[in-house]
Structure 1
Amino acid sequence: MVSDIEWATFFPSAVLLAATPGANQLLILRNGLRHGPRPAISASTGRFAAFALMVVAVAAGLGAVLTASEVAFNAIKWCGVAYLLWLGGRTMLTAARKDPAQGQKTTGAQQAPAEDTQDRGADLASWRLARQEFIVAASNPKAVILFTVFLPQFLVNGAEDVTIPLLVLGAAYIGVEFCCACGYAALGGRLRSMGLTQRIRRLLDAMTGAAMLGLAGWLAAENQ
């Protein structure tokens, strides 16, 4: 299993990695700004579902197969590049487009249907945001390599069965990542509560989109 000393070195390293701005952290920051911290945190379940699958795959030995296969690595890498380009470009377009007027009042019989429509729209939006988080996490081969290379460093040398320790370390890292994700969502919610003007919100969207495009370029330039 994992010794106390290894836990003591694992958590600071995990916090550093999880807190570093990446595609998913930028995405949850944007979601917190546009939709509030609760929907942003709820949507992050998509990311952690992808991470959980990765941890299981690494514990089963599939991570080593991926890192050894240039074809598999490049296939996932270019899927990630394409999705980040699409998401970043869409975010840039959203920043350039003015939001339509909102807040039209409804009365009487119109109010209940409007509330039902809003509830259905909120459910659809939650699924859409969670799907974005899942795809961004799952299409990043560097995340798989992180679990493949980072986690085994904290295992006792000479351990015969590393499956359970890898699962434990993976669950611990997901917990650390969740705490950092909540921080990014809270920051986005804080910016939202400050009553930022539409111009500033569009500027932040543009910065997020540009960062995602930059991450896509970095991922495209990375070799296995």
Structure 2
Amino acid sequence: MFSTVEWTTFFPAALLVAAAPGANQLLSLRNGLRHGRTPAVSASPGRFTPFALMIIAVAAGLGAVLAASEAAFNIIKWCGVVYLLWLGLRTLVTAFRQRSATGWAAPSSEQRDVGASHQDEARSWRLARQEFLVAVSNPKALILFTVFLPQFLGRDADTMATPLLLLGTAYIAVEFFCACGYAALGSRLRSMGITRRARRILDALTGITILGLAGWLATEQH
């Protein structure tokens, strides 16, 4: 089973693909900068539910069918474009609101304690939901798994389903490793005590990049 997969070539290729600064990785960077490493890392599995479903679909042979459907591709594509536009614009608005803020008062210890657990839980769900929506609304991810994973099956593979599931599981592990790296980078920038102006600039750059990804996705042809 393991011998039917070309692992030595798969892991470097998967690392390059997963480390590319896509929308989900930019979210991990932004969440690490705004909320810290732990919330950002705990939110990143939100993207893996759609990834796992896509991998199962590919292993079952449904991935190629869905990827070949122009109507399904366009529906998912435009849902992704709309959501990325909304997320990018919201990020830019957040950056400009921070710019217009005249002051900020640190909450007291009593204020921090009241409802802190509830707020943390609500924040975790919100961040994980963002990760989920970005991943599920990207049709290129399904095509990536349909085209990318089978390249690393050995010629002696008599069945594709189980090796594809193994490859998909390994890719998710690599993706999680890279997400942790982006979250750690954002958290590191946060711990360095960067100025509010620098945080605004990073938020603005993230928003512009997400808007650029929305434009790229809108121009992609099936």
> If the TM-score is normalised by the length of the shorter chain, which range does it land in?
over 0.9
Partner of residue 47, structure 2: 47
Alignment counterpart, residue 144 of structure 2, candidates 146, 162, 170: 146
What's the offset of the Cα at 1:5?
7.4
Distance 1:102 1:122, change over 3 A: farther
The alignment status of 1:64 with 2:64, answered yes or no, reads yes
Provide the residue aligned with 1:17 in structure 2: 17
| Alignment correspondent of 1:162 | 160
CA offsets per residue over residues 107-141 of structure 1, 9 Å max, x none? Answer: xxxx2x75241211111010000000011011101
Contact 1:2 1:155 in 2 (8 A): no
Amino acid in the other structure paired with 1:183: G
Residue in 1 aligned with 2:171? 173
Task: Report deviation, 1:48.
Answer: 1.3
> 77-86 or 46-55, which moves further after superposition?
46-55
Identity of aligned residues (%): 66
The number of aligned residues is: 219
1:194 aligns with 2:192: yes
- Distance (whole Å) between structure 1 residues aligned to residue 151 and residue 94 of structure 2: 42
SS in 1 for 2:18: helix
Listed as ranges, the gaps of 5+ residues in structure 2 are none
For residues 215 and 73 of structure 1, the distance between their equivalents in structure 2, rounded to whole angstroms, comes to 17
Matching residue of 2:6: 6
1:4 Cα deviation (Å)? 7.6
From 86, 101, 104, the equivalent of 2:104 is: 101
TM-score normalised by length of structure 2: 0.94
Deviation at 1:158, TM superposition (A): 5.5
- Three-state SS of the structure 2 residue aligned to 1:215 is helix
C-alpha separation in 1, matches of 2:62 and 2:181: 31
Deviations 1:129-180 (A, max 9, x none): 0000011011101111111000001112363321110000000001111111
Aligned-residue CA RMSD (Å): 1.5
What 5-or-longer segments of structure 1 have no aligned partner?
none
TM-score, with length taken from structure 1: 0.93
